[in-house]
Amino acid sequence: MTVATDLQQVVEDTAAHLYVWALKDIPQDLRDAIAAAVERETSVPGRRVLETIVRNVEVAEERQNLVCQDTGIAVYACRVGEHFPLHPARIYDALKTGTERATVEHPLRSNAVHTITRENTGPNTGHRLPIVHWEFIPDWDGLDVKCVPKGSGSENMSFLKMCVPADGVKGIKQFVLESIVGAGGKPCPPGIVGVGIGGSADYAVYLAKDAITRPVGTRNSDPVVAELEAELYDLLNQTGIGPMGLGGDVTVLAVHIEHADTHMTLNPVAVNYQCWAARRASAHISAAGDVDLDREF
């Protein structure tokens, strides 16, 4: 019991650190993607937007401030080893308390409201907030925690369509294209387009969110899916929407797809947009309570 309590404290401290860290200091893969975007953008307004984003990131670092005022909703992705000696119920408590502490101690803007009354529910927590995605790993005793604060501008640009199976890949491409063209400048492009394909309606949406948590530009391990990622990336960057919707060559930094097998008469496709401030911070926690901070996964 003592060990579990200590471990719960470790997870709480880690969550409090990850939430603030993610908001202040964006990962190197994202910095590289934005820098590459500056180089290939030919539109003058588009390039100016990207240069402003680069300066924004530098100022946040110099002043130890947030890269964006929208502290988002705290989303965590947890990979829990089957032998990790803290029950997921306690892990959830720790993530919630860590989120509250980060919000109060920094302090951060609290965005959480009751979905009907719109009254604030506390320090970025509430009923079923934060949101935690779980994956359970056999034959392992560790815990990986990834914090992905999700801004509302990009989250509002989320879409689901139950495509017709007979329309195949063409139908998928058309829906993703329509979604991104419809979103225009609203989700603060250029960002990461997460696409979830297959499973059920709810699972496709889950997969789309999972997709945006990957390091920028990583490819799906299934070559067929990876090819579709590349095709969609090229297609979306031909729309001319450009940085912040002001026109240009760079509309998206990456397209990530996660997929699941599905029913023969289903073809669910979900899109979840992650803005340029694609914040992400992670930690590996061992069964003994050692914490290894990491930006690479």
Q: Could you tell me where the beta strands, DSSP code E, fall in 138-267?
A: 143-147, 158-162, 191-198, 252-260
Tell me if 153 contacts ligand SF4 by CB under 6 A. yes
Q: Which of residues 213-252 bind ligand SF4 (CB under 6 A)?
A: none
Question: Least separation, in Å, of the C-beta of 138 and ligand SF4?
Answer: 36
E strand or H helix at 234: helix 223-236
Of 151, 189, 199, 215, the one binding ligand SF4 by CB under 6 A: 151
CA 53 – CA 246 distance, rounded (Å): 14
Tell me if 269 contacts ligand SF4 by CB under 6 A. no
Longest dimension (CA), the chain: 61
Reduced to 3 states (helix: H, G, I; strand: E, B; else coil), residue 219 is coil
CA 90 – CA 185 distance, rounded (Å): 40
The stretch near ligand SF4 (CB under 6 A) out of 44-52, 149-157, 202-210, 231-239 is: 149-157
Question: Least separation, in Å, of the C-beta of 203 and ligand SF4?
Answer: 25
Question: Least separation, in Å, of the C-beta of 162 and ligand SF4?
Answer: 27
The stretch near ligand SF4 (CB under 6 A) out of 21-29, 40-48, 228-236, 275-283 is: 275-283
Of 188, 208, 228, 241, the one binding ligand SF4 by CB under 6 A: 188
Q: Which of residues 59-88 bind ligand SF4 (CB under 6 A)?
A: 68, 70, 72
Tell me if 275 contacts ligand SF4 by CB under 6 A. yes
CA 260 – CA 276 distance, rounded (Å): 27
Q: For residue 197, give the DSSP letter.
A: E
E strand or H helix at 36: helix 28-40
Nearer to ligand SF4, 22 or 77 (CB): 22
Of 97, 111, 154, 179, the one binding ligand SF4 by CB under 6 A: 154
CA 163 – CA 9 distance, rounded (Å): 45
Nearer to ligand SF4, 99 or 154 (CB): 154
Side-chain half-sphere of 141: how many Cα atoms within 13 Å?
8
The stretch near ligand SF4 (CB under 6 A) out of 37-45, 145-153, 207-215, 230-238 is: 145-153
Quick one: tokens of 148? 């992905």
Q: Contacts with ligand SF4: how many residues (CB under 6 A)?
A: 12
CA 103 – CA 100 distance, rounded (Å): 5
Buried b (16+ CB within 10 A) or exposed e, 230-242: eebbebbbeeebb
Nearer to ligand SF4, 11 or 73 (CB): 73
Nearer to ligand SF4, 154 or 237 (CB): 154
Sign of the torsion angle spanned by Cα atoms 179, 184, 187, 189: positive
Question: Least separation, in Å, of the C-beta of 287 and ligand SF4?
Answer: 35
Tell me if the bond preceding 223 is cis, omega within 30° of 0: no
Question: Least separation, in Å, of the C-beta of 243 and ligand SF4?
Answer: 11
Nearer to ligand SF4, 72 or 126 (CB): 72
Tell me if 277 contacts ligand SF4 by CB under 6 A. yes
Q: Identify whether the C-beta of residue 123 lies closer than 8 Å to the C-beta of residue 104.
A: yes
Which residues in this chain contact ligand SF4 in the complex, by CB under 6 A? 68, 70, 72, 151-154, 187-188, 275-277
